[in-house]
Structure 1
Amino acid sequence: MDVERMLRNVDFLAGEEMAGRATGSPQSAALEDFLSERLEELGLVPVDMLGLSDFRQPFQVPADRCYLDRETRPDELVEACNILGMMRGETEDMVILTANYDGLGRDPESGQVYPGADYNASGVSAVLEAAAVLSSLEENPKKTLVFALLGGEECGGFGASALSEALEERGFRGRARIINLEGLGAGDGDYMDVWDLNYRPNRETVRALDDAAEAMGVTLELGGADPGTSAGTFFMYHIPAVTCDWSWFERSEHPDFHRLTDTPERMNRDGLLKATRVVTLAAWNLARS
């Protein structure tokens, strides 16, 4: 894995030109193009089992829920989308890696951009890196591997809901396992968290992550109740999903969560790399089983 490549993706997503990646903004639309092109470059294909003919899964979000730096009408809707690509397996059972790419836009008082480096450019960079590594292997998995970058999450979990509804409508609720990635470059911690919601169907995923962490020499800590991530939305649809993050020492508060200080310079590159390695190996082993 190439941590420098990962950090370049973090720099791009958290940069001034992305203006905080607010859902419905021109910057978000440009980012959707970038992410779609990247998945295509890696040789992934659209998830046609979910009725998609390209890498976009469109949905709408109320404009007043978004972090736009303009006036919105009460009944206004903006276009958003998830970006999905897959490595087709021998079966249509799915292992899905998810991370949200949207952000909080600009601070309304200061006009400063919320960079969102750790939340959640780190997760996006990890999904892209996992896709780059696994798509380069000369082996097809047994289960289909899906790489899903979610839009509209910071304004109310719309991307996770759209993906959940598509999985349910197409009969995949019992045939998909999700590993959600957030906050993979936090603080000065030295272990990886897995939040499993105390949900029995997540046990297979937790075992795969535990085995991968042991193989990589990474300490894994299991948490129960979800701390407010996309996995909580998937859980509402009874879709097995866990969230992985890198630890921070002050467990009650992430040092830069949803703050203007969440910049690439404060990323824990070692934690980002270790967590991405563990998640990628776990996803591959789940897909091969």
Structure 2
Amino acid sequence: MKKSIWLVFLVAILSCKQEPVKVYTLRDDVSFLASDSLKGRETGTANELMAAGYLSWRMEELGLDPAGNAGTYFQTFTFKPKKDPHQEIQYVEASDSTITGTNVIGFIDNNAANTVILGAHYDHLGMGGQGSLYRGDAAIHNGADDNASGVAVLMQLAKKLKESELKGNNYLFMAFSGEEIGLLGSNYFAKNPTVELEKVNYMINMDMVGRLRESKVLSVSGTGTAPIWPQVLNSSNQDFELVLQESGVGPSDHTSFYLQDIPVLHFFTGQHEDYHKPTDDADKLNYEGMEKITSYIMEVIAELNDDDKLVFQKTKNESEEVPRFKVALGVIPDYLFDGEGMRIDGVSEEKPAQKAGLQKGDVVVQMGDSTVVDMMSYMRALSAFEEGDNTTVVVDRKGEKISVKITF
């Protein structure tokens, strides 16, 4: 009898050895989150909850401690949908007319004095609606780059930090809900933290990091929020052409932490023609580039592992300087372009730019009487026009200056 029991036990052990534990890759996480079955992960839907369940399972599998509410990986927040786009969201008790979003939070406790927060939003636009740049019928917006890419990098960082000897900080990993409708999940956490914000060293945000280009240009925002950031980012860099932007305020979740006087960084590989459209799919991502970004962020964290708590400093709020527009040219600017002018990264259908024959890659150097030398001068020039106005736009197209007539 005893021999039979040991035989069964031995077979069980051998069976386990023949089935190694699956190691989840960047592609695995993106493929799940950006699959049609999740129908775009819109905040407050059953599909977003499926994504949250998957992420909590991944965090548990990686050995992260739950850091949400009541011993779970989840932190929920409830709000009423806005009727006025300028209205501030109010968090309320749940009722028939409310929406509930779910942050997913895991923790590595190294018994350190300070904590580093790493985050990425996992919600997207569902079937389209407000925020979509797609003009067809309702369709699934899978959001592979925006922002399954950032969440996939977040999971890889969790794995690497769990296995590393970097014990100088604790690490909090957050997958935010509600980013697409106003940074709601990160804003709620910043006002209802599950760790002491006074002990947060810095916050790193990954939002749209899946489309690294051949030029290897990587944008990093928030570099003015701590004096040490430029030095660390440059000394740790081996693979990228960095575009460093000082402001701690921007259209992503790092803003919520900057407003709590926490140093922040936001990593971003640029917009593209699939942004906020159903065509933002998993097969279009640069997974090798994502691996390089993951390694780079690990280098930055390692560089600061033995340092004192970072010193926070306020930055200029560039969003307050953006002019108001009454018209649109109908292009996607290339925010990673650091040359003279405003390079077009995409052209919207049936908008003034397309009707005038402007193309992706054109660099706008003049609009009317205004010279365009950068993004801000382009926006100032555009703000001078009203619907029905006509003007001339000059672009540099592969070294040739071309003038076109534009009607707004």
Q: Given the two structures, how large is their TM-score scaled by the length of structure 1? A: 0.82
Deviations 1:34-68 (A, max 9, x none): 11111011111123xx8752211221132458xxx
Q: Is the 8 A contact 1:57 1:82 kept in 2?
A: yes
1:209 partner amino acid: L
Give the equivalent residue in structure 2 for 1:132. Answer: 159
Give the equivalent residue in structure 2 for 1:21. Answer: 41
- 1:141 corresponds, among 149, 164, 167, to 167
Give the equivalent residue in structure 2 for 1:286. Answer: 304
Give the equivalent residue in structure 2 for 1:233. Answer: 256
2:55 partner amino acid: L
Of Structure 1 and Structure 2, the greater helix share is in: 1
Q: Is the 8 A contact 2:223 2:244 kept in 1?
A: no
1:240 partner amino acid: P
Give the equivalent residue in structure 2 for 1:190. Answer: 216
1:280 partner amino acid: M
Q: CA deviation at 1:171?
A: 4.2
SS at match of 1:162: helix
After superposition, the Cα gap between the structure-2 partners of 1:76 and 1:287, relative to the gap in structure 1 and judged at 3 Å, is farther
SS at match of 2:105: strand
> Could you say which structure has the greater relative contact order, defined with CA pairs below 8 angstroms and 6 or more residues apart?
1
Where do 5+ consecutive residues of structure 1 fail to align?
66-73
Where do 5+ consecutive residues of structure 2 fail to align?
1-21, 84-94, 130-135, 308-408
- 2:74 corresponds, among 47, 56, 59, to 56
- 2:241 corresponds, among 200, 219, 234, to 219
Does 1:87 pair with 2:108? Answer: yes
What is the CA–CA distance in structure 2 between the aligned matches of 1:255 and 1:190, rounded to whole Å? 18
Q: CA deviation at 1:241?
A: 1.4
Give the equivalent residue in structure 2 for 1:258. Answer: 276
Deviations 1:110-165 (A, max 9, x none): 2211111111000000000111122123x361210111111111111111112211
- Please give the root-mean-square deviation of Cα atoms over the aligned residues, in Å: 2.7
With 258-267 and 150-159 compared, the bigger mean Cα shift is at: 258-267
Identity %: 25
2:232 partner amino acid: A
Give the equivalent residue in structure 1 for 2:388. Answer: none
Q: Given the two structures, how large is their TM-score scaled by the length of structure 2? A: 0.60
Trace 1:191-206 onto structure 2 (pairs within 5 A). 191-196=217-222, 198-199=224-225, 202-206=226-230
After superposition, the Cα gap between the structure-2 partners of 1:166 and 1:92, relative to the gap in structure 1 and judged at 3 Å, is farther
1:8 partner amino acid: D
- 2:181 corresponds, among 155, 158, 168, to 155
Q: Is the 8 A contact 2:55 2:104 kept in 1?
A: yes
Deviations 1:76-113 (A, max 9, x none): 22222211111112324111110000000003552211
Does 1:30 pair with 2:86? Answer: no
Q: Is the 8 A contact 1:195 1:223 kept in 2?
A: yes
Counting matched residue pairs gives 267
After superposition, the Cα gap between the structure-2 partners of 1:194 and 1:134, relative to the gap in structure 1 and judged at 3 Å, is same
Give the equivalent residue in structure 2 for 1:7. Answer: 27
What is the CA–CA distance in structure 2 between the aligned matches of 1:52 and 1:155, rounded to whole Å? 26
Q: Is the 8 A contact 1:208 1:282 kept in 2?
A: yes
Q: CA deviation at 1:228?
A: 1.4
SS at match of 2:152: helix
2:63 partner amino acid: G
